[in-house]
Homo-oligomer: A and B are copies of this chain.
Amino acid sequence: MVGGTITEKGIATRELILARAYQLAQQGGLESLSIGTVAISAGMSKSGVFAHFGSREQLQLALLDAVGGRFVEFVKAPALHEPRGLPRLRKLAERWCEWSRAHRNGCVLLSAAVEYDGRRNGPIREHVLRQQGGWRDELRRTIGLAVDAGHLRKDTDTTQLAFEIYSLMLGLHHDAGLFGYDEARDRAELALERLLASYRPGAREVRQ
């Protein structure tokens, strides 16, 4: 945290700024943010925003952290209450679908991955890479536990399955925006079950 006294009011103001920044980023992406527009939206002076976030980049990074933390809390925390293996993996996917529903008007994490692809280097891209890489690792670990539990084939390529599940979630988000959430969710859920079945012990192995 940069500047600002850590008081209840300070934390509340910081949260307010991040909430407004989130709304703006949902519309125009992280790159659309500026201290000025965020200040107007929060009904504050620019120096008021600067007292909490020393620069535009620090605001962008703090927003990514805040949303990333909320995503993990929303998706991972409930999954941890399920037994290791397919129950936990399914709960994770279910909560991820719910996140997609709640953010069908734009997910800042996903649009950041598009904004900061190979074209833009710098601290924000590094942050996005760490976040996305960390989430993929999390997914891979959850799949690995399902392998250990004997719910998925012993020779499951966890990186491959993590890619395939991630792709389905992108498909859900994409189709929800175009054709409506409910149909997209039905498609994604059926696709996930088909996918998991292809990795169950006894399923035929496919190699290229």
Given contacts A163-B171, A171-B166, A198-B194, whether A114 and B111 have CB atoms under 8 Å apart is: yes
Q: Chain B's nearest CB lies how many Å from the CB of A1?
A: 27
What is the 8 Å Cβ interface bit string for chain A, positions 149-172, against chain B (1 contact, 0 not)?
000000000011001101110111
Given contacts A132-B178, A177-B118, A178-B129, whether A167 and B191 have CB atoms under 8 Å apart is: yes
How many chain-A residues does the 8 Å CB contact rule pick out?
Answer: 45
Query: Which positions 38-67 of chain A face chain B at CB distance < 8 Å?
Result: none
* A84 close to chain B: CB less than 8 A: no
Give Cα A176 to B113, complex, Å. Answer: 11
* A190 close to chain B: CB less than 8 A: yes
With a cutoff of 8 Å between Cβ atoms, the chain B residues found around residue A118 in the complex are: 104-105, 176-177, 180
Given contacts A114-B114, A160-B187, whether A206 and B178 have CB atoms under 8 Å apart is: no
- Whether A191 pairs with B111 at a CB distance below 8 angstroms is no
* A117 close to chain B: CB less than 8 A: yes
- Whether B190 pairs with A160 at a CB distance below 8 angstroms is yes
22 A-B pairs in the complex with CB atoms less than 8 angstroms apart: A113-B177, A114-B114, A117-B177, A117-B178, A118-B180, A132-B178, A133-B178, A160-B187, A160-B190, A163-B171, A164-B171, A166-B171, A167-B167, A167-B170, A167-B172, A167-B191, A170-B171, A189-B208, A193-B208, A194-B206, A197-B204, A198-B198
